[in-house]
Structure formats: C-alpha cells, structure tokens
Amino acid sequence: MNDIKKAKALLLHGGEVCDAADGNRQKIDLLIAHGRIEKIGTGLEEGFHGEKIDVSGCLVTQGVIDMHVHLREPGREDEETIESGCAAAMAGGVTAVCAMPNTTPPCDSQEVVRFLKKRAEEQLVEVLPVACITKKREGKEITEMAELVKAGAVAFSDDGSPVVNAAVMRAALEYSSMFEVPVIEHCEDPHLVAGGQMHEGWMSTRLGLPGMPDIAEAVMVARNIALAEYCGGHIHIAHVSTAKSVEYVRRAKENGVKVTCEVTPHHLTLTDEALIRYDTNLKMNPPLRSHEDVEALLVGLRDGTIDVIASDHAPHSLEEKDVEFAAAPFGILGVETMLGIVLSRLVQAGELRLEEALRKMIIAPRQVLGLPLPRFQEGEPANVTIFRPEESWTVRKETLHSRSRNMPYEGWELSGRVYGVLNRGYVWTAGL
C-alpha cells in the first residue's frame, strides 16, 4: 500500500463532486491546500504548481465513516492494530472509524481513550473511541461518562455484550443524556441465545447447530426502546438483523422515541443458508438471518427506519477461525469491503439509491454521533472519499490490508473501486 502523504497542494480535477448531504452532483474541481479545500471551481489549473490528480470517472464525496469497527488494539495486536485497521479503512474509502471498546483492557477509562487518540494521531483515518457503558464491560456499574466524553469518547457501548440489567441500562441512558452522546447497544438476551451458534430456524435444524432466535435480539430492542422512551436518552441499536427489530424501531420512531440504528452489509446481502458448509467465516453475532429478515432490513433501509450502514469489522486470527464451527469466535471483517458491497449489491442491484446509500455511510452516522458534517466549501477541511462507481474489482484475501483474513467475500465481484481518500491534512491514493 502506498503511504499517506501530506495534502499540501493538490488539484482533484475531472471528477464529479457529490455532496452526500443533499445528493447534489456537479463536475467541478477541488483545489486542496494544507488539508483544506481552498477553491472549488473550474479552470483551477492555471497558475497551479502542485500535484494534479485526474479523477475523471470518479465520484468525489465526503469521507465515509464506519461507526462500528473493532480495532483490537490494545490487547489483540495479532488480529488488528490501529495502523492496520486504518489502512484497511483507507483502502475501503473510509476516513473515520468508531473504535469499539471490547479490547484488553477495555476502553472504560480516560487512559485508554487517550491511548487510542494518541496512537491514531498520525493516521489519515480518524479514530473515534467508543467507551464502555459499564466498568470492565461487566454490566454492573456505569463508567465515568463525563470524563470519558471530555477525553474524546463519542458514544458508549459494551459491544459484544448487552447490558443485561435493565436498571443499569436506565441509569446509562439517563446519565449519558447529560452529554448528548448515544448509548450503543448490542441487543441480545443472553438466556435466549445461550450456547447458540447461528440463527434459529430451518437451517439451524438442518445443520444441527444450536440456534440464536430472532426474539433474543427483538426483546432487547423492545426493552431498550421502552427505557429510552421513559428516560429520554438516545439509544442506538447496533447491527439490527431481524424483521422484528426493524418493526419495533419503526414504531418507536413514529412515537418520537430517540432511537437510531445501523445495519451491516453482510446482514443485507447474506442469509443463514450460506452456512451450509459450516464456514466459520460466516459465523458472526448477530448471526446471518432468514430471507424474510433480509427483505425487512432492506425495506427499513429504504423507508428511513435504519439510519446507518456500518460494518461491524471484527478481525479474528486464522488460528481462531480455522477450527470446528462451535469453537470459532463470532465476527468477520468488513471495513474494507463495506463501500464496495453497498455500491454493487445494494445500489447496482437496485435495492437502494446511490444518494441514500451515501447518506447512510457519510451523513447519518455523524448525525447519530452528533459530529460535525464535512462540507464541500472553501476553507473547510478536506475530508473526502474518491471512488469509481463503474469500475469493478474482485475481493481477494491476500490483498486485504487488515491483519486478519476472516471474511466470506473471497472472489466476490464488486463495483465501486476506491481511488483514494483525504482527511486530516493527508492524502492516500490506491495507485490505480
């Protein structure tokens, strides 16, 4: 991979600039100086002596943000590091990631938040720490949320585990609402999924694997909505995977509850039928669901019930995944393939309009997190993703930038090849 360079003086010319906030597109050039958009217009070549980058055939949008990423650092640097995770993000056209807190130690203190920010200081990709809801992710006592927000946490989550105790969740929602940051919940009733390995249904019956019923997610979604409605906090449902969850969120939104949610590319494109050969690279939590669930997720995506597309990038080592299905950990890679899968399997397949897709990966996540939106305006920082919507590429494990290889998309033909990204004063191009 090419190294990132300082974006001192760049001219992006010949491309089509698409503002993800309103979907407006125009053929126009961007002149970048010291990481900022200096000029927007045409005929900017005159008198320009910096690097000219021909982006004809490309869409130039604001930077994609993936609000659900496991960087594994600190603790499992063999699986991913901040550096390798950021490299994977860049290659996937992603300029910001939310780092989930289930690390070792977990991100439940200011020290860990500061560590993450410090380690990511020199990265083009902005790493936004999500701090734990509860100390040590034990689900018992809430963390020092005020301090964590001051240190740079953008949200709270015990991701990987739900907060089982409803009183603790109530306190988390009430307390966090003082700082206007969302509480992100991995919704799962632990008793209903006990020992489960895959979605419960016809396929789990056929494969003889213990099931994880859709109600395990749905009852927790319903509980969290009820809590958020009662105490006014902002609940964000991570990786919704079931038709029931979508329906509960839809109704809650109609009732004015402050609830938002995200969905992963894999839950939109794969079903539990893919598990027929016990491939551990298809084992994740929540599990791949039924056709009916996928259809409901797509409807929810189109009607606005589902706000965000996020990858739940979850690297695992080869040794841990190269085992019998029951022994393998849950999780698959995703940050590097999210844009490609969304563009080809949703947009090109006619399931979602391009403008909507970009909104859900660029604008909506930042709105959920209360972050400023990157704008195409002179004087604004250049936070940009450049890709060729028409150019196809083939996913190959060996070309991934992650340290891990646990992904089920080997050989998938995707459209929307990433050309490059700009952010935080840096530029990186894929060298196409």
Distance CA 109, CA 148 (A): 7
Residues 26, 17: contact at Cβ < 8 Å? yes
User: CB of residue 411 vs another protein: minimum separation in angstroms?
Assistant: 17
Binding of another protein by 330 (CB under 8 A): no
* Contacts to another protein from residues 143-182, by CB under 8 A: none
Residue of 319, 350, 372, 431 that binds another protein (CB under 8 A)? 319
Nearer to another protein, 200 or 262 (CB): 200
Residues 60, 12: contact at Cβ < 8 Å? yes
Binding of another protein by 209 (CB under 8 A): yes
Exposed/middle/buried for residue 396 (C-beta within 10 Å: 0-12, 13-18, 19+): exposed
- Could you give the residue numbers annotated as active site? 312
Q: What is the side-by-side strand order in the sheet with 25-27?
A: 5-6, 426-429, 413-423, 384-394, 59-62, 16-18, 25-27
Nearer to another protein, 140 or 206 (CB): 206
Distance CA 28, CA 408 (A): 38
Spatial CA neighbour of 275 closest among 321, 190, 342, 206: 206
Phi, psi of 282 (to 5 degrees): -115, 10
User: CB of residue 212 vs another protein: minimum separation in angstroms?
Assistant: 11
Per CB under 8 A, which region of 16-24, 25-33, 193-201, 260-268 contacts another protein?
193-201
Q: Give the 3-state DSSP-derived string for 363-379, with helices as H, strands as E and coil as C.
A: HHHHHHHCCCCCCCCCC
Strands 25-27 and 51-54: unpaired
Residue of 1, 178, 323, 349 that binds another protein (CB under 8 A)? 323
Residue of 210, 329, 389, 425 that binds another protein (CB under 8 A)? 210
User: CB of residue 316 vs another protein: minimum separation in angstroms?
Assistant: 14
Distance CA 239, CA 103 (A): 19
Nearer to another protein, 126 or 272 (CB): 272
* Contacts to another protein from residues 262-281, by CB under 8 A: 277-278
Binding of another protein by 318 (CB under 8 A): no
Residue of 208, 372, 379, 411 that binds another protein (CB under 8 A)? 208
Binding of another protein by 200 (CB under 8 A): yes
Residue of 166, 178, 326, 432 that binds another protein (CB under 8 A)? 326
Distance CA 84, CA 99 (A): 13
Binding of another protein by 349 (CB under 8 A): no
Binding of another protein by 213 (CB under 8 A): yes
User: CB of residue 209 vs another protein: minimum separation in angstroms?
Assistant: 5
User: CB of residue 283 vs another protein: minimum separation in angstroms?
Assistant: 11
Strands 59-62 and 384-394: antiparallel
Tokens at 76, concatenated: 């499992």
Binding of another protein by 406 (CB under 8 A): no
Q: How far is CA 243 from the centre of its chain?
A: 20
User: CB of residue 275 vs another protein: minimum separation in angstroms?
Assistant: 9
Nearer to another protein, 54 or 279 (CB): 279
Question: Which residue blocks in 102-213 are alpha helix, DSSP H?
Answer: 110-119, 145-151, 166-176, 190-193, 202-207
Per CB under 8 A, which region of 119-127, 206-214, 221-229, 369-377 contacts another protein?
206-214
Binding of another protein by 206 (CB under 8 A): yes
Binding of another protein by 121 (CB under 8 A): no
- List interacting residues with another protein (CB under 8 A): 197, 200-202, 204-211, 213, 277-278, 319, 322-327
